[in-house]
């Protein structure tokens, strides 16, 4: 459960980010709704057409400062880019520019939070780098022959090792 104080801090931070964006772009953007629902392994998700940001409450509790400093500006940047440019690449040059120039944040596209608190079921796969955990959704797609996945480091095709975590 998220502490009401943390919700208030995030709401204030959201207001600060929008004040920075309003000043930078010399226009007023509508404040988005903030919601707190589990969303797999995603720290946050921007719902562009709804002008809403969802934050993963489990990851938030364990990574509060990173959410304030990195995750919230990341998701706000998605909303701003959509309002400024329409549909563009999610982490393209427009998004990167907003992250760097408006919020002075590194335009990182992935988090490295510990996912253990999420208690996600995974299937173990292997490559030359070692074991790789795939979500059950991805594992099922592999088993149905619909998808194949490659290691991000060695680019080798991942092979199932037949181990599923509870």
CA–CA separation, 6 and 96 (whole Å): 27
- Do the beta carbons of residue 7 and residue 62 sit within 8 Å? no
- Report the SS3 class of residue 41: strand
Q: Which of 75, 94, 108, 124 is catalytic?
A: 75
Buried b (16+ CB within 10 A) or exposed e, 135-154: eeebbeebeeeeeebebeee
Active site residue 75: yes
Which positions are catalytic?
75
């Amino acid at each position: 459960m998220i502490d009401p104080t943390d919700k208030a801090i995030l709401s204030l931070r959201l207001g600060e980010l929008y004040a920075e964006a309003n000043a930078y772009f010399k226009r007023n953007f509508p404040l988005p709704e903030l919601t707190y629902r589990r969303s797999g392994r995603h720290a946050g998700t921007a719902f562009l057409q709804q002008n809403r940001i969802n934050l993963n409450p489990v990851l938030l509790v364990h990574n509060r400062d990173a959410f304030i400093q990195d995750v919230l500006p990341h998701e706000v940047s998605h909303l701003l880019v959509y309002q400024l440019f329409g549909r563009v690449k999610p982490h393209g040059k427009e998004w990167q520019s907003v992250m760097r120039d408006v919020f002075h944040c590194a335009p990182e596209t992935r988090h490295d939070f510990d996912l253990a608190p999420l208690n996600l079921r995974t299937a173990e796969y292997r490559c030359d780098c070692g074991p790789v955990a795939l979500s059950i959704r991805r594992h099922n797609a592999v088993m149905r022959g619909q998808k194949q996945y490659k290691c991000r480091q060695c680019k080798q095709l991942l092979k199932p090792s037949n181990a599923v975590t509870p």
